[in-house]
Chain A
Amino acid sequence: MRALIIDDERLARKELTKLLEEHPSIEIVGEAMNADEAEQMINDLNPDLLFLDIQMPGRTGFQLLESLESVPLVVFTTAYDEFALKAFEVNALDYLLKPIQAERLSEAIHKIMEKERAKIGRGAGKKLGLEDQVFVKDGERCWFVSLANIRYFESDGNYIKVYFDANRPMIHKSLNALDDRLDERAFFRASRKHIINLSWVEGIEPWFNGGLMVKLRGGDKVEVSRRQAAKFKDMMSL
């Protein structure tokens, strides 16, 4: 697995590199000392895994993740940050407390490998597919969401509401920009306001003006505009 270490302190990076020598399955492809550098390297090197410090000068680790379109697997490294870590209590996410203990690191890597094995064909195309995950932060709470779990996106002013499980946090992005990045075989632009995840579609009914009403598993209903209806029928009927 190709990993990137992101920490503003040289000694902290060095210490982690040293600890990772015990784990040949992890290949360190680069080290970044701030979020800007990291963003550049993530785009260039496309790593599978980030070891990410939360508190850094300039942008924090969270802000970095928010700016990424697709988020690799992430292990947070932090000395002490109760507020930041609380945000993740609901998620099955891993973090390492500095000074990092070798056993804890092994556990974390073990978990990561299992996650990685469950995935197939990630990073094949440039577009975001069901196997990719995104990072969403809404106020105090954070999530790593697999795109497979997102039922649909809804535009709301300058924001997009992301519907998954019982949550619908907002991300600051335009629906058009998102639509361009999503794999069109997995996601469909239903209307000016909505993008739906095709794997969640359960039923389709005719609607007014030649449009369609799509029923999603879980009970949500999303309208498909007349303009998109024909295209939608095409896609769903082989």
Chain B
Amino acid sequence: MVQIVVAISSSEVISTKRIIFLAYESFFCFLLTHGFRTYMNSNRWLSLSMPRLLPRLFSAIIVMAVAMYFLRIPLSVPLGLFNKSLVFDLNNILGLSLVYSFFFFTWSIVYFTYNYFERYNKSLKLEASVKEIELSNLKSQLNPHFIFNALNSIRALVDENPDKAKMAINQLSNILRNTLVTEKKGLTKFGDELKVVRDYLGLESIRFEERLKTDFDIDPASKNFLVPPLMVQTLVENGVKHGISKLTEGGVIQLKTKVERGKLSIRIRNSGQYHATNGHKRRGGLGLVNTSQRLKLLYGDGAYFAISNEKDNFVLTEIIIPPIQYESVDN
């Protein structure tokens, strides 16, 4: 600042015109870079790879530099700084354009460095939130209450019905295996998910016996549809935990799927009542929050998820999943 002020005051006479001219010049520079930025944004230059970006960037810099040189001319005329032979001298054109190129080049470096860091930060944050959701999912899926109760039932079955006990051990190990490998799989076929749900309900029926009735209505077309792993299982488990297990006389769990207009609709109905503001805040709401977060991460606003009470003492949980689009996860 001090230096600029000193420089200006030392060459007073010519300087007033010079200053006006410099102001116009910087104003045009600002306009050009601003336009350039808008252009880059609309053409997504930030996501281009280096070999594709660099030639574009250098041509743009040259175009802007030359444009800048000629944009100065209409200004220099009224200010009396116009010198025809000098202005259209090729050496002068090239020299000054080079100066401007250097300026625009510096600007680009600053601009791209800033934006790359910004994007890196954002992607780190997104990754962190994805990991966090995965972790809390894993925690909620490894439901100790379920596992130990199942083991306890199996212990009793060993005497009463050894074959059934063996089957139950297989079902339990399938569930545990699925829970542990989920993290590595982004999506799973609904057919596979259905197997886990059947194993889960098989184990719970050993525990609840005649108090738990199940009912499946599966559209064959849904089996190859890709779904987030253990999502349906978690919701069915919710239905058992908050619905059936609270009812002295037990109840029914129904699972119904349908593929309509390319989307998979999954409806889970269970006996009981859904209380949005349940006393068990620590555990009750977690599964549902996780589910909607997962759907949001995978499908953006493309998926639908809702839970509601129906008239005849039934709770309906409904998910509608669009065919998979991976783009939203990577960007």
Contacts and interface: CB of A to CB of B under 8 A. Distances in A.
Interface of A: 8-12, 14-15, 18, 34, 55, 57-58, 79-81, 83, 97-100
27 contacts: A8-B248, A9-B152, A9-B207, A9-B209, A10-B209, A11-B152, A11-B156, A11-B206, A11-B207, A11-B209, A12-B149, A12-B153, A14-B160, A18-B156, A18-B159, A55-B145, A55-B245, A57-B248, A79-B144, A79-B148, A79-B149, A79-B152, A80-B148, A81-B145, A97-B148, A98-B148, A99-B148
Interface in B100-136: none
Contacts of A79: 144-145, 148-149, 152
B246 interface: yes
B152 A12 contact: yes
A139 B137 CA distance: 30
A15 B160 CA distance: 10
Nearest to A18: B159
Given A9-B208, A57-B246, A57-B247, 12 more contacts: A8-B248, A11-B157, A14-B156, A15-B156, A34-B248, A57-B248, A80-B144, A80-B145, A80-B148, A99-B151, A99-B152, A99-B155
In this complex, which of A10, A11, A98 has the most chain B Cβ atoms within 10 angstroms of its Cβ?
A11
Q: Interface of chain A, helix or strand or loop or mixed? A: loop
Contacts of B155: 15, 99
Nearest to A82: B144
Interface residues of B, number: 23
Nearest to B153: A11
Interface string B197-212: 0000000001111000
A2 B206 CA distance: 29
Contacts of A18: 156, 159
A80 B146 CA distance: 9
In this complex, which of B144, B155, B159 has the most chain A Cβ atoms within 10 angstroms of its Cβ?
B155
A8 B211 CA distance: 10
Interface in B268-315: 282
Task: Please provide the 8 A-B residue pairs with the shortest distance between their CB atoms, ordered closest to farther.
Answer: A79-B148, A15-B156, A11-B156, A98-B152, A80-B144, A99-B152, A79-B149, A57-B248
Interface in B250-273: 250
Interface string B204-241: 00111100000000000000000000000000000000
A40 to B, nearest CB: 14
B145 to A, nearest CB: 5
Contacts of B208: 9
Contacts of A97: 148
A74 to B, nearest CB: 19
Contacts of B248: 8, 34, 57-58
Contacts of B206: 11
A21 B208 CA distance: 24
Contacts of B282: 83
A7 to B, nearest CB: 10
B74 to A, nearest CB: 78
A14 B152 CA distance: 10
A100 B209 CA distance: 20
A55 B160 CA distance: 24
A100 B147 CA distance: 14
A224 to B, nearest CB: 42
Contacts of B250: 57
Contacts of B247: 57
Contacts of A80: 144-145, 147-148
A12 B207 CA distance: 8
Contact of A9 (B144, B147, B151, B153): B153
Contacts of A98: 148-149, 151-152
B296 to A, nearest CB: 30
A97 B145 CA distance: 11
A179 B209 CA distance: 44
A10 B248 CA distance: 13
Nearest to A9: B207
Interface in B146-197: 147-149, 151-153, 155-157, 159-160
A81 B206 CA distance: 21
Nearest to B158: A15
A61 to B, nearest CB: 14
Nearest to B161: A11
A82 B250 CA distance: 25
B251 to A, nearest CB: 10
A80 B142 CA distance: 12
Contacts of B245: 55, 57
Contacts of A11: 152-153, 156-157, 160, 206-207, 209
A44 B85 CA distance: 119
A57 B209 CA distance: 14
